[in-house]
Each structure stands twice: as C-alpha cells, then as structure tokens.
Amino acid sequence: MDRCNQIANPSSIKPPAALPPDLLLFNPTKYRLLTGSLQYLTITIPDIFFTANTLCQHTHNPSSLHYLLLKCLLRYIKGTISFGLPISASSFTLSAYADADWATDSDTRRSTSGYCCFLSKNLISWTVKKQHTVARSSTKDEYRSLAAATAEAI
C-alpha cells in the first residue's frame, strides 16, 4: 500500500453497500499480523488506538469487512505518517477534558468513554475505551468518564 490514496479519518463511519471483489479472497493470517503490528504502532500514533483496538477484537474470525476497515486505517496512517505530538515550553497549567458516547457498541450496548490531560498546550495523558458496565443513561456515562479524568489528573 505504498502508493495508496490517503484518507483523513482512521475509521470508516459506514460500510460500503458491496465489498470489492479483491477482498473476498483476503488472508486471515495477514490480517492478524497487521493488526498485531498496529498495536505496537499505537505507542507513537495514539489517534489510531481506538480503531486498532476495534480491529484487534476480530482477529479470531475476521471478515472481509474487517479487512476493508484495516485497509482504511493503513491509508490513514500513510497520510499522517509525518504528524507528531508537539511539546512546547509554557506555563504549568494542568487541564483535562472528558467525553462519553452512550451505548456505542451495538452488540453489548456498552459506552465508549475517553479523556485527555494537558500540561499547558502539551498532551501528556489520554485514554479511550469501552466502559466495563452498561449505563442506563448518557449522564451516568459522562460522570464515569469525568471521574476517570479527575483520577488521572490527581
């Protein structure tokens, strides 16, 4: 995929109506190798963490749709390979931002929550993950995410 077209989003929002014919003969072993490599790449490219984690959840039985989503992620990496996290000297102001998306996973109805912590303008900590329990409302999700961000800031 050295000469692939670049895309601006690491994950595809909706799957295509029909899969391309070249995806019908994909190799599951190659899928496992690529997704395993992506886990190591998330250390230096944190914005692919959620998408790479989602793809890794299907290594036991990947479908051609998962292979298509993997190719989309590789196209995103191709376009953002020169990006990085800037670190600049400035005042020591600690701030944290948290958010949650209620019942994101259509299979388990668990929510996705995340937070990021900044020291001045520098990103120093972040996480995005599925919550352990199913929440009855979006407010509970937001409070759980806020509690995690507060604990990280402290």
pLDDT at 14 (0 to 100): 65
What is the number of other CB atoms lying within 10 angstroms of the CB of residue 148?
19
Please tell me the least confidently modeled range out of 22-31, 32-41, 55-64. 22-31
Higher pLDDT, 101 or 21: 101
Does the structure show a pLDDT above 80 at 52?
Answer: yes
What mean pLDDT do residues 89-102 have? 86
Q: What is the pLDDT of residue 97?
A: 92
- pLDDT band for position 12 (50/70/90)? low
- How many angstroms separate the Cα of 83 from the Cα of each of 32, 78, 116, 148? 26, 10, 18, 28
Q: What are 123's strand-pairing partners?
A: 118
Q: Please report, for residues 28, 35, 52, 56, the alpha-carbon distance to residue 60 in angstroms, rounded to integers and kept in the order given.
A: 9, 11, 15, 9
Contact 26, 64 (CB under 8 A): yes
Q: Is the pLDDT of residue 16 over 80?
A: no
pLDDT above 70 coverage of the chain, percent: 88
Q: How confident is the model at residue 96 (pLDDT cuts 50, 70, 90)?
A: very high
Q: Is the pLDDT of residue 75 over 70?
A: yes
The model scores a pTM over 0.85: no
Q: Would the pLDDT of 24 be above 60?
A: no
